[in-house]
């Protein structure tokens, strides 16, 4: 399967059409952005690491009954996946308080939450991705029915219930992460986008060291080494 026309270029990926109208190819870029695009950089090899990490995690989720857009990894930087209508909601799942949750609500950084929190943000750069409740999402027409929001929230919790113990076994705390969902050609809600250290927070269970994009956001350095370590632990190396 080969790339045809560029459909869309996002911050971390380019999307291309293929000969099959139901399939598209994502090219994982080395670019890094933070703080609504104000901080930018790039790290050679980051795209390939995210492609490989996402591939392993999509396979794991599929094996555990979660429907995703994943079809296959084509090469280091390219993934073949189903074409969907993306639902413009960023689904944030949190096990431990940090980042904007700690800042906005004054919850101590690093506090384990009494239960897993699932939040919705409006995927809209111009508005700065504001928080949404279910009524906002329905009024904006991001989905048609409440049961679609219920399904998204249920899938997000199931995904967390698979990923959290999986990473705990590998000595990584899954602190929080962002998911996106879409509707496939039959109208099923499926998991899309990527699952990588660009949109998950991983803290080493022993040392507390940050193994994700916060290394870039917070100017800590060693981003690629951390992403390689996450991939190696996934692969059991
Ligand atoms: P959050 O604490 O809301 O934001 P910030 O990174 O600004 O502190 O992030 C929660 C998790 O969701 C974290 O793992 C990063 C991820 N995330 C994204 O990947 N993209 C986004 O646009 C946002 C807001 C969060």
The domain boundary, picked from 82, 97, 131, lies at 82
Structure tokens belonging to residue 23? 């399939």
Is 58 close to ligand 1, i.e. is its CB under 6 Å away? no
Residue 113 domain boundaries? 85-222
pLDDT digits (tens, 9 = 90+) for 127-141: 999 999 999 999 999
The CB density around residue 155, as the number of other CB atoms within 10 Å, is 21
229 domain-assigned: no
Query: How confident is the model at residue 102, as a pLDDT?
Result: 98
Residue 68 CA, distance from chain mean position = 12
User: Are residues 161 and 113 part of one domain?
Assistant: yes
Among residues 82, 117, 140, which one ends one of the domains? 82
3-class state of residue 236 by DSSP = coil
Question: Does 1 reside within a domain?
Answer: no
Q: Answer yes or no: is 230 within a domain.
A: no
Residues 36 and 106 in one domain: no
Task: Give percent of the chain above pLDDT 90.
Answer: 97
Residue of minimum CA distance from atom 18 in ligand 1:
199
CATH number reported for the structural domain that contains residue 17 in this entry: 3.30.200.20
Shared-domain flag, residues 78 and 89: no
Percent of the chain with pLDDT over 70: 100
Whether residue 104 is found in the same domain as residue 12? no
CATH code of the domain in which 192 resides = 3.30.470.20
| pLDDT at position 172 | 98
Please indicate whether residue 178, judged by its CB atom, sits closer than 6 Å to ligand 1: yes
Residue 74 banded pLDDT, cuts 50, 70, 90: very high
Domain boundary among 51, 82, 113: 82
Whether residues 13 and 62 fall in one domain: yes
Q: Among 199, 213, 217, which is best to mutate for testing ligand 1, by the most ligand atoms less than 8 A from CB?
A: 199
73, 124: one domain: no
Residue 101 lies in a domain: yes
Interior CA angle at 9 toward 80 and 24, to 5°?
20
Encoded tokens for 190: 């499926």
Specify if 234 maps to a domain: no
Gap between the Cα atoms of 167 and 61, Å rounded: 13
Same domain, 107 and 28: no
Together in a domain, 95 and 54: no
Q: Do 66 and 92 belong to one domain?
A: no
Tell me, yes or no, whether 232 lies in a domain.
no
Q: How many domains does one find in the chain?
A: 2
The answer to whether the pTM exceeds 0.85 is: yes
Same domain flag for 200 and 89:
yes
Taking the centre of ligand 1 as the mean of its atom positions, its distance from the CA of residue 186, in whole angstroms, is 30
Considering only CA atoms, which residue is closest to atom 19 of ligand 1?
199
DSSP state of 142: S
pLDDT tens digit string along 27-71?
999 999 998 889 999 999 999 999 999 999 999 999 999 999 999
User: Which residue CA neighbors atom 13 of ligand 1 most closely?
Assistant: 177
In a domain, 40, yes or no: yes
- Shared domain for 117 and 134, answered yes or no, is yes
In a domain, 190, yes or no: yes
> Are residue 123 and residue 209 in the same domain, yes or no?
yes
- SS3 for 183? strand
Distance CA 147, CA 102 (A): 30
């Amino acid at each position: 399967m080969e790339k045809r026309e560029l459909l869309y270029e996002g911050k971390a990926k380019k999307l291309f059409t293929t000969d099959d109208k139901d399939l598209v190819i994502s090219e994982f870029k080395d670019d890094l952005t933070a703080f609504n695009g104000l901080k930018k950089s790039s790290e050679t090899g980051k795209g390939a690491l995210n492609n490989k990490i996402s591939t392993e995690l999509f396979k794991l989720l599929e094996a555990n009954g979660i429907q995703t857009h994943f079809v296959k990894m084509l090469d280091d930087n390219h993934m073949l996946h189903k074409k969907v209508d993306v639902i413009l909601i960023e689904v944030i799942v949190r096990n431990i308080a940090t980042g904007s949750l700690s800042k906005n609500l004054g919850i101590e950084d690093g506090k384990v939450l009494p239960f897993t929190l699932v939040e919705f943000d409006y995927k809209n750069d111009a508005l700065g991705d504001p928080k949404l409740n279910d009524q906002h999402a329905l009024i904006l027409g991001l989905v048609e029915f409440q049961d679609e929001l219920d399904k998204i929230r249920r899938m997000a919790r199931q995904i967390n219930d698979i990923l959290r113990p999986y990473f705990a076994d590998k000595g990584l705390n899954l602190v929080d992460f962002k998911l996106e969902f879409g509707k496939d050609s039959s109208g099923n809600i499926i998991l899309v986008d990527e699952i990588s250290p660009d949109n998950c927070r991983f803290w080493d269970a022993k040392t507390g060291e940050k193994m994700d994009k916060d290394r870039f956001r917070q100017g800590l350095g060693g981003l690629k080494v951390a992403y390689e370590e996450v991939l190696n632990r996934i692969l059991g190396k």
